Each structure stands twice: as C-alpha cells, then as structure tokens.
C-alpha cells in the first residue's frame, strides 16, 4: 500500500512539472507543429509511455490530421487516412477511451499495423473547443498497461491546453489571410468572418501549397501525405516506400504531383506501377497543373478551372457538400411522409437543380409542379404569379421547394396563395436560408444550409442569367453587385 502511495505522489509531481513545461511551450512563438511536437514529447515522458500523438479534426469532421507526435514511426503515422468515426469513435463524444490490446480491439482502425509496430495499449481523450471535439490526444505503450484516474486527469489537462493552442493557430491563420472585407461587412460588424481550417502542414514544395490552395478554393477536402506504401523489402525490412502527396477522400483518389523533369517523372511512374501491382484497389494519379485542371473538369469543377469561376470570390459549398446535405434532407422527408404521396412545388428557375437532385433521393411517390413569378412596383416590389400550378393541390400533401429564402416576402405571398387551395398539408424545404435578411418570419420545415448575408450563385442560382450551371455554390465578388434587389 505504501508503494502505491509513493507512486501516486511521484506521478502527481511529474505531471505538475510536465504541465509547467507544456504551458511554457504552448505560449511560445514557435510554429504549431513544433509546439505540438514538444507537448507530445513532454506528455509521453511524464506518463512513461512509448508514444504520443496530437490530432486535429478536419473541417468536415470526418478525418483526423496529425499536428504533433513523439515516439511513433513514420510508417505507423502514415498507415492511411484516419477516419474519425472508425478510429476510437467514442472520443468524439467527449469521452476518454482506453484500449487494452490495440491488435484485437475493433475500435482500432488499423489493428494489423498496431501489431506490426508492437503497440499494445492506447489511451485517448478529446480536445474540446466550445464544448465540441476539435481534435484528440493519444498515448501509446508497448507493454499492456492500465491507466489510473490521475493519468486520465493529466491527459485531459494537456488536451485543454491543446484546445487553446488550436484556437490561437486558427486565429493566426485568419489574420494572415489577405482578406479585404466588403463594404457590406464594414457596415455590418455582426457578420462573422470566415472561419479557417486548421492546416498545420509544412509543404515540401511550393507547388504542393499552390495545389492545396486550388483544392481549398473548390472546397475539395484533402489530406497531405496520409499514407506510405511499402514497395520493396530486404532482409525482412522495408527498403523502399512511396508516399503520395495528397489524398482526396471525396474522390477516393491519391495524387502525386509531377514536374517536367524527365528523370523524376520516370522514377515516379516506376513507383506508381509498382504500387498498382501490390495494391490494385488503390486509385492514384500522377498530375501536373494542367492534368489537374483537366481532372477538375471531369468531376464538374471546370472547365479548366477558370472560365466558369470568373467573378467568384470563393466557393461556399462544394458539389459534394451539397449532395451530402440533399441526401440528408431527402431521408428526413421520406421518413416524415412515409406511406403518403407528396407533391413538390417549385418556383422557376433557380430551384431546378435542387428540385431534380432532391426528388431522386426521395423514397416515396412524388409528383412535380412549377410556378413562375415576376416583380413590379419599383422599390416596394410586389409579387405577381405569372404561372400557377397546373394540377389541383386540394387535399394534397404539398412541399414548397425553394432554392433560397432571404426576406421571406415572396415565400410568404406564395404560401398564402397555395393555402387558399386547401391542401392537406403545406411545408417548406429550402436549400439555403439567408436569415440575416429576414423581414417576415415564414416557417421553414427543412433547411439545407444557413448562409451569411452574401450574394451567392451556382447550383441554379444566377446573376443576370449567368452562373446557374456551376456545380457548387459560390460567393460573387462584391464589386460585381451594386444595387441588386434581394431574392
């Protein structure tokens, strides 16, 4: 019993000293990567562990990105994309997670790699920001280990310091952006600035940073060098590996950037061929800048990256993000109207893209109808219905499908018109809700995204008849919009 007391006292002392070191380095002016590496080292030593890893959650909250590490091999760190909902998923719920045997526990995403690297026990806790998980910190041991409450308490304290470090890094990245607020933002300080994604990556070459910026513009999620593929072995050891530059989760595609130097291109092609022989399920492409622009065009982000985005300040929601949200809305609607027939009504022309995608995802019988409207009356615009629904909606379950709702005046008028025909029910589904401009509090039953007070185009939304065919939703350059009436 005395030995146990001495051990506890010693651990508390070492934890106190470690927290002093960690707090000091967290408040230093060095880079995020160096801060997190130093925190990981102090944490591992204090807990007498073999390794420590600090991870941040990506913007889609789907993948974990390493921002600091100590004591773990490159092969283990780059074993593959670390999915947040597959790798110790309970940590995202704010819980401490203990893994007694990493090689057999189903909560470990890559148990075979843990076995190969001799990792036995793992303890992980969340890094919380504003009550939500924004990252994780994990401890690894080679010998089977039980962790005490003091161990967990110490690791939670370190995680709290990491949360402050993450928030400060994001603020620093935001301030470093060449960001010039529009006149509208200067007059409306309540509109929050665009939140950055924590990107601790140091790129090996400027072309990789340019490539990442292009991906960010199109809101294409990316992971930098998440996996190393062993290609050749000698004497039971790995003699050659290939680490592609990027992984694009939405396309399930690895990208290796190339140059025009023939000797480098030849070597990379050899590695790519070898990789395909050993890992035929892996999709990988060697790309230069022109190749990538062509790839964008193939997946609907082009053509060639410039013609369709002229005048776009930035992409607000990518095509993949829109499709995910449409599927979520469709599941909710299908559940709420199970066993019933639904009539979808939309106002031409902006709703066409959203209506087409939404109805394909609904798992119930639907009919379609469209209306058309015009405005007149100068500043105090009055809505006039120029085309009414063709079929009777009396006794029907009607869903008013909107591309965007801002002031609510037009929608309120249309709902009043439809209600006069005595439908069995009348609800509203809108892709975008610009609540900052609301004048009439119309009921919205299903909302895709709540957006800031910006002029958006794409995915059916236009500016002077253009931009409807963009596969994403983008924000138009402020200087192009002067004196435009709200939608």
Per-residue DSSP letters for 374-433? EEESTTS-EEEEEE--SS--TT-EEEEEEEEESSSHHHHHHHHHHHTT--SEEEEEEEEE
Task: Assign 156 to helix, strand or coil.
Answer: helix
Which of 27, 285, 359, 61 lies closest to 162 in space, CA to CA? 27
What sign has the CA pseudo-torsion 31, 34, 35, 36? positive
The beta strands (E) that lie in 73-120 are given as 82-83, 97-99
Q: How many CB atoms are closer than 10 A to CB 28?
A: 10
Query: Does residue 105 have an active-site annotation?
Result: no
Task: Assign 169 to helix, strand or coil.
Answer: helix
To which H or E segment does residue 12 belong?
A: helix 2-26
Q: Is the peptide bond before 273 cis (omega within 30 degrees of 0)?
A: no
User: What's the chain's Rg over C-alpha atoms?
Assistant: 27
The beta strands (E) that lie in 165-311 are given as 223-224, 229-234, 237-242, 246-248, 253-257, 284-287
Which of 62, 44, 45 lies closest to 54 in space, CA to CA? 44
Q: How many CB atoms are closer than 10 A to CB 478?
A: 16
Residue among 357, 403, 406, 433 flagged as catalytic: 406
Residues in the chain: 487
Q: Catalytic amino acids?
A: 406
């Amino acid at each position: 019993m005395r030995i146990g007391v001495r051990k506890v006292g010693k651990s508390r002392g070492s934890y106190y000293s470690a927290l002093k070191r960690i707090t000091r380095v967290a408040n230093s002016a060095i880079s995020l990567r160096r801060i997190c590496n130093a925190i990981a080292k102090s944490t591992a030593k204090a807990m007498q562990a073999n390794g420590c890893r600090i991870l941040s959650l990506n913007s889609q909250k789907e993948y974990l990105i390493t921002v600091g590490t100590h004591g773990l091999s490159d092969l283990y760190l780059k074993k593959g994309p670390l999915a947040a909902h597959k790798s110790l998923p309970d940590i995202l719920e704010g819980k401490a997670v203990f893994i007694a045997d990493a090689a057999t526990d189903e909560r470990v995403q890559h148990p075979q790699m843990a076995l190969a690297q001799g990792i036995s026990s793992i303890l992980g806790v969340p890094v919380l920001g504003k009550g939500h998980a924004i990252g994780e910190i994990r401890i690894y041991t080679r010998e089977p280990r039980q962790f005490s409450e003091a161990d967990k308490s110490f690791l939670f304290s370190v995680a709290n310091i990491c949360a402050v470090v993450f928030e400060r890094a994001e603020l620093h990245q935001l301030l470093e952006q060449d960001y010039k607020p529009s006149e509208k933002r200067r007059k409306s300080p309540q509109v929050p600035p665009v939140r950055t994604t924590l990107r601790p990556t140091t790129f090996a070459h400027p072309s990789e940073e340019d490539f990442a910026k292009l991906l960010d513009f199109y809101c294409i999620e990316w992971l930098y060098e998440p996996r190393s593929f062993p290609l050749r072995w000698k004497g039971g050891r790995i003699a050659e590996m290939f680490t592609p530059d990027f992984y694009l989760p939405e396309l399930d595609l690895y990208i290796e950037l190339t140059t025009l130097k023939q000797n480098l291109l030849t070597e990379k092609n050899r590695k790519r061929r070898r990789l395909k022989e050993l890992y035929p399920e892996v999709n990988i492409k060697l790309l230069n800048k022109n190749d990538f622009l062509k790839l964008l065009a193939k997946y609907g982000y082009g053509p060639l990256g410039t013609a369709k985005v002229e005048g776009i300040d930035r992409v607000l929601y990518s095509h993949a993000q829109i499709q995910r949200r449409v599927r979520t809305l469709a599941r909710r609607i299908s559940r709420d109207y199970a066993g019933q027939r639904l009539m979808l009504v939309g106002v031409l022309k902006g709703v066409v893209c959203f209506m087409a995608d939404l109805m394909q995802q609904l798992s119930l019988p639907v009919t379609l109808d469209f209306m058309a409207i015009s405005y007149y009356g100068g500043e105090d615009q009055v809505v006039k219905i120029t085309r009414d629904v063709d079929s009777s909606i009396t006794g029907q379950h009607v869903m008013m499908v909107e591309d965007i709702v801002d002031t609510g005046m037009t929608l309120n008028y249309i709902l009043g018109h439809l209600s006069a025909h005595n439908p069995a029910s009348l609800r509203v589904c809108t892709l975008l809700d610009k609540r900052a401009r609301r004048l009439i509090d119309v009921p919205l039953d299903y909302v895709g995204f709540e957006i800031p007070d910006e002029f958006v185009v794409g995915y059916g939304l236009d500016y002077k008849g253009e931009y409807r065919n963009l596969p994403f939703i983008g924000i138009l350059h402020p200087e192009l919009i002067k004196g435009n009436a709200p939608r």
